[in-house]
Structure 1
Amino acid sequence: ENEHSRSSESIHVTVLRARRLKGVKGDVLTSYAKVEFDGKSLGDSAKVDSTAEVSAEYNFTTSFDCSFTDGHHTLDDVASKPLLITVTEVLPKEKKQKEEKSAVLGQCTVDLLPLLLQPESEITNTLILHAVPGSPLETVTPEFGKVEIDIKISVNEPLLDGEQLTQSNLFTVRLGSAYSLPDSWSSGSHYNYIVGLPVPVTSEKQATVIFQNGALKSSADKEPSKRSAKWYSVPNAVSAAQFIPNSQKERVSFEEEKGDFSGKEFRDFRIEAESEKNRISWDVEKRCYLDPDAKAEFQNKISQTRYWPVEVMRNVPSQSKVPTAAGSKKDKNAPAEDDGSISFHGVVYVDLAPLLYPGVCSVAGAFAVHPFSESELKAVSKKGSAVKHAESTAEVDGSQQTNTDSLAYTESRSYLYLEFTLARPFVPRREPEELAAMVREYIPPRPAFKRAVGGAAKAVEDYHAQLASVASMVLDEFREMFGEEIGDDALNQTEAKRRERKKQLMYQLNSSGKYFAFKEQLKHSVVKIVREKYMKTTTFKSKDELQAFLSDLYVYLIDEMHAAFGKLLSMENEPQEVIEPMVDSLQLKRFAQEAEVNEEYKMASKYYQERLAMNEKDPEHWFDYGTFNLLVGDNSKAKECFKETVAIDQTYKEGLLMYGIMCTMDECYTEAETVLERSTSLVESSPDATPQNLAWTILALFYDSQGNEIQAEHAYSQANKLNIAAAVEAMVNSEAKEEEVKEVAEKPDPGSVAGTEQEQAASLLPSTGSNTKPQPPDSAKSVSTVRGTTKASTKKDPRIRSSTENSVSSHDQDAKQKPSEAEPKVTAVPKQTIFLQAAQWLLRRKALKFAEISLSHELLEPHGGPSAEYYIALAQLQMMRRQLSGAKDSLELATSFDNEHPDAWAMMGHFHYVSGDYISSKSCYERTLAFVTDAAEMHSIYLRLASIYLQQGEFQNAKRTYLLACKHSPTCISWLGVGIACYRLNEISEAEDALAEANILNNTNSDVWAYLSLVCLNTGRKLEAEQAYKYAMKIGFDDENVIEEIHSVQKKLGFGNPSY
């Protein structure tokens, strides 16, 4: 069934009038208008007289049929070919003149594209009539005004309805110029320069678009910044009528280009090639209408091949078409080629994959020209040559001479500037509002606030509260007036004195206006009682009814007032003071993380649940609990926690990311894609916690897992852009801080700065030896310029890449510049790649599967690869999976890259600690503390090193290290360690203080109660010793050595054990 129910539609063209025409002889002239389409005349208007002041009223209507099938004029012709309107003057006959003479005044073209892009049936335009060479219109001055012509285009029904507009598309190719030409092209204007490419017409058929007649221009002929494009096909048009109206536009910037020479390293080469060397200019635009089948086929071919071939060549037209001057001789330097043969056959491979990115409508850039090879063309684009089949007048020469000619493209680094544009993107981008609505469907948001409680009970409760408030203020006023008097003579109070004080109080309240203020304060609560308790909202019918109601209300309010005052003055009902919790949410989180490090998962779960009980409306509490459940392997509970996080706050970016990851693990791919895509549209308020590029990186990893390379490439590109932008911002901020430091340095220094806590700790530890920092094997690349790279770009055919690389290397010797020009440009280089940042974030959130994928990408990343940070992250992943042998190898590689990386030595210490090698672990921890820079996580280092000191009897070092842990993050375990160390040092008072602090932070720790029992035994406090011992045993203290020590002391002292 055909897309259109109609086989064709007539397009009616009406030339209405022309204004301010000027003839060859005098102001009065006779003229007519001619309408052409696709080189064929559609008719001439009648001859009309006019002057400069009187318009030429042609009112001429003609038409042509637009076929919706394979007729003569198709929708593609309507999109790419204009109407040509020519206005011709009929000159008056002279004496003895037999035939009438005429002179063309001007031309204009009418763009029919609005008939396709807009569902309209009529378009009216006023166009400028461009003068042809020799026309009297060339001499028209600005004061005379522009010569204009009115045109009306109409159809009976729109060519495309709304649904057809949505399903079809318009593909536009704009060919600019060829630059950095081979040296042999410096002379000779008798050549024809051709560019061609295939375009699908239907699902089974493709057409070849041929751009001919490229003009060789010298460097002296400068290009304007805004260029107008010529019509692809408009026969008989001359002068300015060859250009598409309103087609002037500037080229995209280097940063936005997608070509082979879009990097900053090519900028100087591009500027030189485009301003100081010859070029071939076309500046032609070809529009191609894509019906639904052709659109689907185009998308399919792009997704399969990515690279679209664009062929470029030079040929010599036949001698019959190119006249030769008499006596001219053949150029000795001209290549040996016959008339009509093709030479310098090259091909450009344009990566059109970005057209499949969401919301992307254009690909533009400078694309390198490679020597043509039929086998390479089929291997890269899976297509044969499109031009050699279309050019029937020329034969493709496949000889060695042609191949030799084409090599000149590589040697000269030639390139074409091309623009490919769609009217609508192939893949529409989902707007943030649409994504937010879809997320709300998956996860309904929780109500932000509790519903207001109303009713009669609440109205009475508010009335009591207002009475208590007013009574409190009256009492304060009374105390201020008579407090001293009553205090001095409290026993001699008479009734007369009480009545006198009451009068004075009432006078003071009335005269100061406070009495009125108190009444106003009570008024609102009384109104609520009338409405809620008595349900009275209408007016009273009589005064008696009003009086009866007021009497009842007065009695009720007095009774409730007495009840309120009774509660206020009653000591029995006085509310108890609410005791604030000793720890806050942040401390509970630290306790939980500490328990995780010690693998006490039940205790960690208890702390996370306490945080939720403290405030279940905080999304961070649910997020942290979900992360913990991932650690212990409870994925279903983790997913529910992340879902609750998003339900509480629909814009919580980390919650969206982790929920999307969990959906991916559960194979809910549609939901995962929606949630992850939603996270990319959110701006992170705290970029230090979550990098701006993280959401795009994780979305790219998701697409990679689905095998969607095009979407993954787009996401990687966006992530790289954000990463570089963050590096630029960091560099600017760093430079600003350096300027501030310089300004401060010029001022006198008021004093010296004290050492850090880590330096104080380092003074207690042995020296770590040499401070020489070995360079990693690939450290040279850390100073290279980072460009946005993608996984898909690494799959580019090696023959394409090598051509450009070879051309770059061949020009290294020509890159010598003057000393002033050779200075390196400062470029912002991200400290870490997007994959390493993502892997570190995912490891902190215990998303091990995605972290492993991200680390694998880091090895393939051109600006990533093996590094100390990579091997540290890999070792962390392996330790979480209990792959200890692999973790050891990774850490050894990390220290070989950077022998002074604190995180590497910290992880090495953790590895030995978990393996039971406490001597090696102690050495690694001491080395970590000796560095000036802290490791990422210091608390666990302090605790584990101090515990080793305790085991080895180094109690003084243990005490100091535990105190560092307390200073860094005070917890029950850190204060317990201080208490144990002090007890072993026989510092009983300090031990008791430290254990008391530990007990305040956690009164259910059996170790704390056990050592408190020992302290009480040594200080002779029998009752406290027995209670502490009972609590320790009741909670489950099981350290046999300490229990034996307690029993020994109890037997020695004769108390402390209730069983004695």
Structure 2
Amino acid sequence: MMRDEMKSRVLKIAAEKFRLGQNEAITGGKFEFCNSLYINLMEEIHTCIADMFLKKHRIANALEGYVELSEKEKKLFLLRQLADEYEYACDYGTANRYHQDRLLGDTIHNPDIWFEYGCFALRMKTKGRPRERGKAEECFREALTLDKNHFLSLLALASLMWHRNYCTQSEILLHTAINLHTEEEWLSWCILSQVYNAQGQTDNEKSCIRKAEVLYTSSHGNRNAYTAPHVLLSPLLKFPFSCGHLFLQENLPSSTVFFETGLFLLDLHLQKEGKQILDLECDVFSTAFDNKWAHAKVHELNEEYAKAEIWIKENLSITHEEPMSWLCLGRIRYLNKKYQEALEAYEKHIRYQGNKQVYMYVHLDIGNCHLQLGNYNAAKKVFLKLCQVEPTTSSWLGAAIAFYRTCEHKHSEQALVEANHMDSKNQRVWAYLALVCLALDRNEEAEISFQQLQKLELHDVHLLLEVADGFAKCGNYR
């Protein structure tokens, strides 16, 4: 019923657009007509799908007491979601373009957007090149130009200056942050202590540590349901598997000023400085779960996965049923391409998590593990369940790949259409659309999909070869 209605509306739009009768539109110049029609209709379709998705998001936010999103905020939200998905997939180039798109128009004057872009620049990996420290510094400085009291930008830039051994600049920025007297002033004092340490000022270092501990205790003693959310839970610091959102939302039992400051630095991917802060904890806290989790994260960021596992297994030797430990272990094994072992860890995480909501990216990891292991039916179940609860381009694409591998091409096409509605510039979606059309003997449509793919940058060599092989089997060697 709905499909028939959509067909009739499409033909009506086409007739109006091209000033053709419906019969003439169907029979005359089929290939050129479809190609032109697709381009004109996709923008409208994407807008409608985006509105539907954001309507659901607004309802959820309204139930939680959040403010209604404006049109500009809707666009920023969608672009950030897409950037996060590409970052999760390690496609930093495309993620970078979406972050840049967020700075178009009036939002170029928004310090929050510059701060988010600066944080992403610190996380961005490019083969053969160091991390974008210079770009990050530029973004943080731009945020401070727009708002000289932007607390998170002051902290981030000060931490980056410390990392680059510009200790005097770091000290000035941290004192500016301290003078704002925010709820998280202890963060500034704790980082400042190590800036003094780098300058050999031992007395000042000890004084700053004492001040940080006092302020931290006071801040957490006064925190309740009516106070502002923890700074590390700010949406500006949220990205796939971000430390603050993962650890602090689980209400860990023994957080300390050093642990939480360390988390902030680890979310900036300044792991050397983060470890230095974590090492300040005295022997009393040497068995604390949170400290071991944070040390495991340091090794994970350094791609020292065996060392990271050791820290997590120490936690599991103390309490075997701690869900966060199993999540961390699953993530480490996934990054280390130990997919079967990652699945085992994630299964225990879900079991011990009980009725609590499981992190979306955990489901994506599980689905991708099944794909890598060839468990396509299991992958389908995981991705389709995620599509019902929290649909994303990644979840629909995962389902489509699983269907394609089990030769359920019609279902695969439907999932790819959903993925394409959410992100029309996803290279892998277009590649699989070409493969599905070839499998269904629709060579003209496969050609159109391949033309779209050529406009984008696909770095998956194996997938490109598979597409090329598919065209070759049909006698198309162009």
Per the TM superposition, whether the score is higher than 0.5 is yes
Structure 2 residue 374 is the aligned partner of structure 1 residue 881: no
Count of residue correspondences: 379
Paired position in structure 2 for 1:413: none
Please give the alpha-carbon distance, in whole angstroms, between the structure 2 residues aligned to 1:944 and 1:628.
21
C-alpha distance in 2, partners of 1:846/1:896?
A: 28
Quote how far apart the aligned CAs of 1:706 are: 2.7
Measured in 1, the distance between the counterparts of 2:323 and 2:466 equals: 40
2:211 counterpart letter in structure 1: Q
Residue 640 of structure 1 is aligned with which of 124, 133, 138? 138
Match of residue 38 from structure 2: none
Cα 1:893–1:875 change in 2 (3 A) is same
Aligned with 2:102 (options 601, 605, 611): 611
User: Quick one: which amino acid aligns to residue 265 of structure 2?
Assistant: L
Is 1:922 matched with 2:420? no
Select 2:84's aligned residue among 593, 612, 626.
Answer: 593
Residue equivalent to 1:663: 161
Q: Is the 8 A contact 2:438 2:470 kept in 1?
A: no
**1-side partners of 2:113 and 2:377: how far apart?**
38
Q: Is the 8 A contact 1:680 1:696 kept in 2?
A: yes
Q: Which residue of the other structure, out of 702, 720, 723, is the alignment partner of 2:213?
A: 720
What corresponds to 2:363 in structure 1?
A: 942
8 Å contact 1:903–1:935 — kept in the other structure? no
Match for residue 856 of structure 1 among 279, 282, 292: 279
Cα deviation for residue 653 of structure 1 reads: 0.7
The Cα of 1:1011 is off from its aligned counterpart by 1.9
| SS of corresponding position for 2:290 | helix
**Corresponding residue number in structure 2 for 1:621:** 113
Q: Is the 8 A contact 1:589 1:608 kept in 2?
A: yes
Q: 1:703 to 1:940 in 2, by over 3 A?
A: same
Contact 1:867 1:897 in 2 (8 A): no
The whole-number CA distance in structure 1 between the counterparts of 2:376 and 2:332 is 24
Contact 2:254/2:290 (8 A) holds in 1? no
Residue 887 of structure 1 deviates from its aligned partner by: 1.6
Aligned to 1:825: none
Asked if the contact 2:339/2:372 (under 8 Å) is kept, the reply is no
The gaps in structure 1 that reach 5 residues or longer are 1-575, 735-828
The one-letter code of the counterpart of 1:590 is Q
Question: Residues 861, 731 of structure 1: CA spacing in aligned structure 2 closer, same or farther, 3 A cutoff?
Answer: farther
Q: Could you say what secondary structure the match of 1:707 adopts?
A: coil
Higher helix share: 2
Q: Distance in 2 between matches of 1:982 and 1:840?
A: 39
**Cα separation, partners in 2 of 1:1035 and 1:731, compared to 1, 3 Å:** closer
TM-score, normalised by the number of residues in structure 1: 0.33
**1:199-218 equivalences in 2 (<5 Å):** none
> C-alpha distance in 2, partners of 1:940/1:987?
25
Cα distance in 2 between the residues matched to 1:637 and 1:714: 33
Relative to its length, the structure with more strand (as a share) is 1
Q: How does 1:109-148 map to 2 (within 5 A)?
A: none
Q: What's the CA shift for 1:907?
A: 2.2
C-alpha offsets along residues 555-587 of structure 1, whole Å, 9 cap, x if unaligned? xxxxxxxxxxxxxxxxxxxxx99x969573233
Partner of 1:729: 222
Quote the RMSD (CA, aligned, Å): 3.5
1:319-398 equivalences in 2 (<5 Å) = none
SS at match of 1:612: coil
1:843 match: 266
The answer to whether structure 1 residue 981 and structure 2 residue 438 are counterparts is no
Measured in 1, the distance between the counterparts of 2:381 and 2:181 equals 43
Q: Which residue pairs with 1:537 in the alignment?
A: none
Alignment match of 2:353 (pick from 932, 941, 945): 932
Deviation at 1:831, TM superposition (A): 3.7
Q: TM-score, normalised by structure 2?
A: 0.69
2:467 and 2:272 map into 1 onto residues whose CA distance is 47
Which of 665, 668, 673 aligns to 2:171? It is 673
1:624 Cα deviation after fit: 2.2
Deviation at 1:834, TM superposition (A): 0.2
Deviations 1:821-877 (A, max 9, x none): xxxxxxxx984110001111211121223201111012x264x32322111111111
CA contact (8 A) 2:82 2:95 kept: yes
Identity %: 27
Are 1:643 and 1:659, in contact at CA under 8 Å, matched by a contact in 2? yes
- Whichever residue aligns with residue 1027 of structure 1, its letter is I
Q: Where does 1:484-495 land on structure 2 (aligned, <5 Å)?
A: none
For residue 992 of structure 1, report the CA deviation from its aligned partner: 2.6
Contact in 2 for aligned 1:1026/1:1058 (Cα 8 Å) = no
Cα deviations by residue, 1:990-1014 (Å, 9 ceiling, x for unpaired): 4333212322333333321122123
- 1:716 offset after TM fit, Å? 2.6
Does the C-alpha gap of structure 1 residues 603 and 1041 become closer, same or farther in structure 2, counting only changes over 3 Å? Answer: closer
Change (3 A) 1:695 1:586: farther
Judged with a 3 Å threshold, the aligned counterparts in structure 2 of structure 1 residues 1005 and 833 are, in CA distance, closer, same or farther, namely same
Q: Structure 1 CA distance, aligned partners of 2:204 and 2:113?
A: 33
Residue 446 (structure 2) aligns with: 1025
| Structure 2: runs of 5+ lacking an equivalent | 1-42, 51-73, 126-130, 228-251
Deviation at 1:980, TM superposition (A): 1.6
Q: Deviations over 1:81-135 (max 9, x none)?
A: xxxxxxxxxxxxxxxxxxxxxxxxxxxxxxxxxxxxxxxxxxxxxxxxxxxxxxx
CA contact (8 A) 2:437 2:443 kept: yes
The answer to whether the 8 A contact 1:902-1:934 is kept is: no
Query: AA paired with 1:622?
Result: W
- Of the structure 1 ranges 926-935 and 889-898, higher mean CA displacement relative to structure 2 is found in 926-935
CA distance in 2, matches of 1:950, 1:1026: 26
